[in-house]
Structure 1
Amino acid sequence: MGVTVTIEEQDAYLARVGRAGMLMLPMITGIGEQVRAWADELAAEGITALAWDPFKGRSTDNVTREELGGLARELDDEVALAEQAALVDYMFGELGCSKVGVIGYCLGGRFALLLAARDHRLANVVAFHPTVPSQRPPHHTYDAIAEATGIAAPVLVSYPSADTAVPNADFEALQTVLQARPTGATFAQYFPGADHGFSDKGRHDKEVNAAAYRLAWPQALAFMRTTTS
């Protein structure tokens, strides 16, 4: 089981086991029970996991998704990316990780792409159903699709065809950008009929989402093991 740690005045959830590491960027749930379980699962697989807290202690454990949605619309790209960079520094420094990748879900998937475009120390990027609509809302300072061209690391992106937050055309645009990079392999997972956020176990009452996650996760785990070993 992991623990809460304080790093440069921000709290994060740490499940520590070794020198391979993944920075985890949560979805709208914040560091709720689901995200902590994923971090603990990574640790059980031999990968140290450190989870960024986008909502400063608020999560589905203690507030509603509607409230968290409001907080998500207040996130500042520059502030969030600076916090995430500090966590990467901590993983390489205090935790002594030899390789660090980043995995993000939904809003965290978008930040994973943005962070990796800036920090070429990262060994991989895993983006589950990243929220990267081409029609950007006001709080999206940066265009994650356009900026993905700057990612040097291998990328695995997982997309559900019934994603109402990100049209299929935007996923195709992201794929085009990623595949045009001069370095860094691109792995795509595409799940017909699955919904945005299909990895969230709260959506697994719908079999198409549960089936997508059962297939997606082992491949993502193998990718993370390979790129951080």
Structure 2
Amino acid sequence: MNRVSNGSPSPARPDRLITLSDGIFAIAMTLLALEVRVAPDLDSEQFHDALREAVPQLAAYALSFLILSIFWRDQRQILLMSAKTGGLPQHLALAVLGMIALVPFPTSILAEYGAHEPLAVAMYAATICLIDLLQLAMFATLRGRHGVRGVGEWRDTAADLGATIVVFGASVPIAFFAPQAAIWSWLALFPVKAVLGRRERLRGTRQDG
């Protein structure tokens, strides 16, 4: 183990944690696709029925794949903004990855029961919200302990993470009264992300200029 001169462990570079993150995200995304399937040996009518029944699975897969893509981008961005990790930030990063590996489970529950079972929608929304809360906590502790490059970058990243927390967190209570409305409310996240992304790009352009 690398140590500093006073004998305490030195913070680790983020490279290995980024590599681990990439692998877990890749596995989770692959597992999402494995949930989409049609039974073999069906006649023509059963086959078409099975395809119609697979539509919720495809929709849940597309939603979760897109969300995991955003989480993967955020995880890499947060880790790359800090020269070193270690201690509590590293533990939070591992907690994020543990939740990422779990995402295929609430996704399959959402695909199977989402239209009729409020708890399935609430579980999915709560999982996504918890992941983003953990990412925000990881980011805040990295900023406090190891420093994060760029005040503008910090604000943009915090706003980006906060948007997901607000959208999915607000949908949890809504799910118990109107599960379909809660699901549709998630779509608000993507235009919000687009606006925040454009603001971040404009900030970067001004700084480069």
* TM-score, length-scaled by structure 2: 0.32
Greater helix fraction, Structure 1 or Structure 2: 2
Report which structure shows greater RCO (CA 8 Å, sep ≥6): 2
* TM-score, length-scaled by structure 1: 0.30
Q: Which has the larger radius of gyration?
A: 2
